[in-house]
């Protein structure tokens, strides 16, 4: 169970579309909008986990054509996001919307977030600790995952809110953008490598 909790922590805390966009909503729109967005991400994450646990994701992804199309779209999306961040210039530009994405935006992001599927598949299909009781094991895994997921996303939201309050020099802002873009490109690279 401890190895499962450690895996949850390290898989969720690493930069991906969910946590990076959480920081962006905090930076762009503040605490109230950020909390609504995190609520949507939370619902979306649990829906993805249910799709993985129920086998629905496996059924959909069993067709290699669908899997290839979704993989290509996911990699393209992550690459696009990384490039938008890297070339945002001297301003912290995680998100360029006029209105915050809200609960629905969070749910929709998780529905197309390849990291959400990969993380949930790894967590829920591995790290078995109650082999005789699938339902109990899944319930405990959901509880552990959410107990770790919530504070991590609130911390990323807090980081975004803190960035909003800072008056960073243009050079520092560019460095933040490049670091985020490199993180996104690492996610793309890992995803592409795992498909080889």
Domain ranges of the chain: 2-194
The answer to whether residue 28 scores a pLDDT higher than 60 is yes
Is residue 30 within 8 A of residue 170, CB to CB? The reply is no
pLDDT band at 72 (very low <50, low <70, confident <90, very high): confident
C-alpha span between 166 and 50 (Å, rounded): 39
Report the distance separating Cα 156 and Cα 180, nearest Å: 13
The span from the CA of 25 to the CA of 19, in Å, is 10
Whether the per-residue pLDDT at 10 is higher than 60: the answer is yes
Residue 142, both tokens: 């959901």
Q: In whole angstroms, give the CA distance from residue 77 to residue 93.
A: 17
Task: Give the separation between CA 183 and CA 67, rounded to whole angstroms.
Answer: 24
Tokens matching residue 93: 């530009």
| Identity of the highest mean pLDDT range in 109-118, 122-131, 185-194 | 122-131
Tokens representing 67 are: 């899997």
Q: What is the mean pLDDT of the chain?
A: 81
Dihedral angle, C-alpha 10, 110, 38, 53, nearest 10 °: -70
Overall average pLDDT of the 136-148 stretch: 95
Task: Tell me if 184 sits within 8 A of 88, measured CB to CB.
Answer: no
- Residues 145 and 123: beta-carbon distance below 8 Å: yes
d(CA 99, CA 28): 9
pLDDT tier at 87 (50, 70, 90 boundaries)? low
What is the band of 97 on the pLDDT scale with cuts at 50, 70, 90?
A: very low
Integer angstrom CA distances of residue 14 from 11, 113, 173:
6, 14, 20
> What's the rounded Cα separation, in Å, for the pair 75 and 96?
21
């Amino acid at each position: 169970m401890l190895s499962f909790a450690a895996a949850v922590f390290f898989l969720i805390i690493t930069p991906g579309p969910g946590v990076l966009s959480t920081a962006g909503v905090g930076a762009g729109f503040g605490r109230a909008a950020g909390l609504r967005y995190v609520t949507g991400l939370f619902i979306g994450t649990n829906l993805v986990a249910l799709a993985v646990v129920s086998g629905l994701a496996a059924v959909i992804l069993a067709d290699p054509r669908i899997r290839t199309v979704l993989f290509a779209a996911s990699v393209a999306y992550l690459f696009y996001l990384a490039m938008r961040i890297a070339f945002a210039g001297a301003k912290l530009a995680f998100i360029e919307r006029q209105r915050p994405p809200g609960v629905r935006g969070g749910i929709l992001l998780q529905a197309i977030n390849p990291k959400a599927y990969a993380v949930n598949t790894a967590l829920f299909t591995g790290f078995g600790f109650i082999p005789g009781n699938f339902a109990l094991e899944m319930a405990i895994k959901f509880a552990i995952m959410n107990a770790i997921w919530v504070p991590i996303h609130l911390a990323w939201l807090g980081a975004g809110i803190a960035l909003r309050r800072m008056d960073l020099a243009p050079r520092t802002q560019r460095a933040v953008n490049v670091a985020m873009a490199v993180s996104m490109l690492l996610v793309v690279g890992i995803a592409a490598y795992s498909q080889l």
